[in-house]
Amino acid sequence: MNERIIPITDAGRIPTRPDEAHTAGKALLDTRSRPLRDLRISVTDRCNFRCTYCMPKDVFGKDYQFLEHAALLTFEEITRLARVFKAHGVEKIRLTGGEPLIRRNVERLIEMLAGIGGLELTLTTNGSLLARKAQALKDAGLDRVTVSLDSLDDAIFQSMNDVKFPVAKVLEGIDAAARAGLTPLKVNVVVKRGVNDHSIVDMARHFKGSGHIVRFIEFMDVGATNGWRMDDVVPSAEVIRRIDAEMPLEPVGPNYPGEVAQRWRYVDGSGEIGVISSVTQAFCSSCTRARLSTEGKLYTCLFANAGFDLRALVRDGASDEAIADAIAGVWGARADRYSEIRTAETARGKKIEMSYIGG
């Protein structure tokens, strides 16, 4: 059938016809010919940090209503959906949150996902619980981790996480992950001008030669609570200039099509860094990511304002084929390119919070 897949309606329903063929197993392309390759799964909307660019305390305080446990996808539901996504071409799954390591028995979920086979399994964490969980995560089948660490300056880091959590504890977690073999380990740094941009060179120098890859991320307007302004963004080009002035760099090609980080290596061969330039150098044209929220909604962009409810299909008894068709319909109608069209006006629009959709 040559007709383009019908987009989602405003009610979040996909119109279908009785003769419509199931699309599971076929390569999915969206309206811009982007394949589906990566799935980010948020396993909890809760976090033990209150980072100012993600879950600011004045919004996510003691009275904030997080999801009830019954609303969360179960491990069995997540695993079932992961199988369907794999049949559509997904090759990598990243567990996110919130903070995924506060989801009870998350190691069991990793073990279940590893049992599917043929998937690269990764996890992004703030590192607070990593020292005691690293080996169990590896034993369960996790391939590697990415750790968020925004500064080595303890005062700055504690101010940014807003719960007074020390840098030393995150570094302990990074060391434990390395010993467990959760490598190559990546360290994510969200750079905000006037807050932690003075730490850029120190961060690069600290991890130079360690085998870990520091990735500097432009401060983004995810959600509607972090007070984003363009003036707060430190362009990746400036990050590279600062580091290159002290530790010469040269560009490196991507590891795979659709890689979001631009790679740079030290000329002396002592490792590499990356920059993620969602604001100043949009990579929408090659984005292969879908996101599954904590309560089972499918989002096709980090800056989305609505998702499609896969949990409803699962809990209403839909077959794998029906779920596969729904996913195909969502992806086939995808036309997202938010970072390419970002303006001051769009930045003020309502968007899903990163703590809910997964970063």
Q: Could you report the per-residue pLDDT of 332-342, keeping only the tens digit for each?
A: 999 988 677 66
pLDDT at position 59 is: 80
Which parts of the chain fold into alpha helices (H)?
75-87, 106-114, 130-140, 154-161, 167-180, 200-207, 236-246, 310-315, 320-332, 338-341, 344-347, 354-357
Q: How confident is the model at residue 38 (pLDDT cuts 50, 70, 90)?
A: very high
Mean pLDDT value of segment 32-42: 96
**228: confidence class by pLDDT, cuts 50, 70, 90:** low
Q: What are the residues facing 192 on neighbouring strands?
A: 233
Compare 113 and 221 and report the one with higher pLDDT.
113
pLDDT score of 23: 45
**Alpha carbons 229 and 259: distance in angstroms, whole number:** 26
DSSP H helices in 208-358: 236-246, 310-315, 320-332, 338-341, 344-347, 354-357
Average pLDDT over residues 298-308: 87
Give the full edge-to-edge strand order of the sheet including 289-292.
249-252, 262-266, 272-276, 213-218, 186-191, 144-148, 120-125, 92-96, 38-42, 289-292, 297-299, 308-309
Task: Provide the pLDDT confidence category of residue 15 given band limits of 50, 70 and 90.
Answer: very low
For residue 184, cis peptide bond before it (omega within 30 degrees of 0): yes
State mean pLDDT over 8-21.
36
Distance spanning both ends of the chain, measured CA to CA: 36
| Nearest Cα residue to 259 out of 289, 235, 236 | 289
Dihedrals φ, ψ of 333, to 5°?
-90, 0
- The whole-number pLDDT of residue 182 equals 98
* pLDDT of 10 above 50: no
Q: Which two tokens stand for residue 230?
A: 């363009």
Q: How many CB atoms lie within 10 A of CB 55?
A: 28
pLDDT at 346 (0 to 100): 56
Percent of the chain with pLDDT over 90: 70
Amino acid at position 50, single letter: R
- % of the chain surpassing 70 pLDDT: 85
Burial of 330 (0-12, 13-18, 19+ CB in 10 A): buried
**Apex CA 83: angle with CA 80 and CA 70, to 5°?**
25
Domains and CATH numbers, the chain: 38-357 (3.20.20.70)
Q: What integer is the mean pLDDT of 219-227?
A: 67
Confidence at residue 354, expressed as pLDDT on a 0 to 100 scale: 66
pLDDT band of residue 93 (cuts 50, 70, 90) is: very high
Cis peptide before 98 (omega within 30 of 0): yes
| Spatial contact of 14 and 6, defined as CB atoms under 8 Å apart | yes
Report the pLDDT averaged over residues 141-159: 97
Per-residue confidence (pLDDT) for residue 136, from 0 to 100: 98
**Section 321-341 average pLDDT:** 90
| Alpha carbon distances (Å) from 227 to 49, 126, 157 | 18, 21, 18
68: pLDDT strictly greater than 60: yes
Residue of 229, 217, 136 lying closest to 179 (CA atoms): 136
CA distances from 201 to 17, 48, 245, 271, 331 (A): 57, 28, 10, 14, 40
**320 in Cβ contact with 84 (< 8 Å):** yes
Pairing of strands 308-309, 297-299: antiparallel
pLDDT digits (tens, 9 = 90+) for 231-272: 899 999 999 999 999 999 999 999 887 788 999 999 999 999
Q: Cα-atom radius of gyration of the chain, to the nearest Å? A: 20
Whether 30 has a pLDDT exceeding 90, the answer reads yes
The predicted model gives 126-153 an average pLDDT of 97
In this prediction, residue 29 carries a pLDDT of 96
pLDDT band at 17 (very low <50, low <70, confident <90, very high): very low
The C-alpha angle with vertex 214 and arms to 127 and 196, in degrees rounded to 5, equals 80
Q: How confident is the model at residue 225 (pLDDT cuts 50, 70, 90)?
A: low
Pick from 191, 192, 173: nearest CA to 182? 173
Residue 132 reports pLDDT greater than 90 = yes
Q: What is the pLDDT of residue 256?
A: 82
Q: pTM here?
A: 0.88
**Average pLDDT score over the chain:** 88
What's the confidence (pLDDT) of residue 198? 95
How many whole angstroms separate alpha carbon 80 and alpha carbon 182?
A: 25
pLDDT value for 343: 56
Residue 173 above 80 pLDDT? yes
pLDDT at 353 over 50: yes
Q: Is the pLDDT of residue 7 over 70?
A: no
